[in-house]
Amino acid sequence: MSENPFAREFTLDEAERARRSIEPMLSEAIEHRRTALDFEGRLSALARRIEYSGGLALRRAKALELRHGFDRATEKARAAVEKIEAVGCLVKDLDLGLVDFPGKLNGEDVLWCWQLGEDRIRFWHRPSEGFAGRKPISPGDAGATPPVQ
């Protein structure tokens, strides 16, 4: 018998309750990531302008402001992801808002798969398959009764 590699295992009902609790944290992490990417783009543009001008036009205060904004947004995104992962969920792709919840289906290790914007967990996949291997949860799946909304 193989050892479960995940810190926590969710029933589908538990995963759905966790999904509802982590959804605002995921939205927050995504927003902070977008902010960090904006600062990163602005830093890159500033670096290109400095390079093209031979370094003579460096506005140190502006560069420090952008770097501080980037660092702050990155830290906030990281902290939000850590809160989600502390619940036992796996943030798979912050850009797409993908989160997996380890569980069992018919005695097999699976990941209940949810993407921000979906109204509930409707898919699962094996750990080796990833998002591309998502399969719909069917009412006949043992232990996978969709929660009542």
> Could you report the per-residue pLDDT of 68-97, keeping only the tens digit for each?
999 999 999 999 999 999 999 999 999 999
Give the residue carrying structure tokens 């370094």. Answer: 55
CA distance 148 to 98: 22
Parallel/antiparallel/unpaired status of strands 123-125 and 108-115: antiparallel
* Tens of pLDDT, residues 107-137: 899 999 999 999 999 999 999 998 899 999 9
CA distance 46 to 60: 10
Q: What are 82-86's contacts with CB under 8 Å, separation 24+?
A: 83/22, 83/25, 84/22, 84/25, 84/26, 84/29
Q: Tokens representing 7?
A: 């810190």
Please tell me the pTM assigned to this model. Answer: 0.82
* Tens of pLDDT, residues 24-70: 999 999 999 999 999 999 999 988 887 777 665 567 788 899 999 99
Q: Domain boundaries in the chain?
A: 12-136
Q: What is the DSSP letter of 11?
A: -
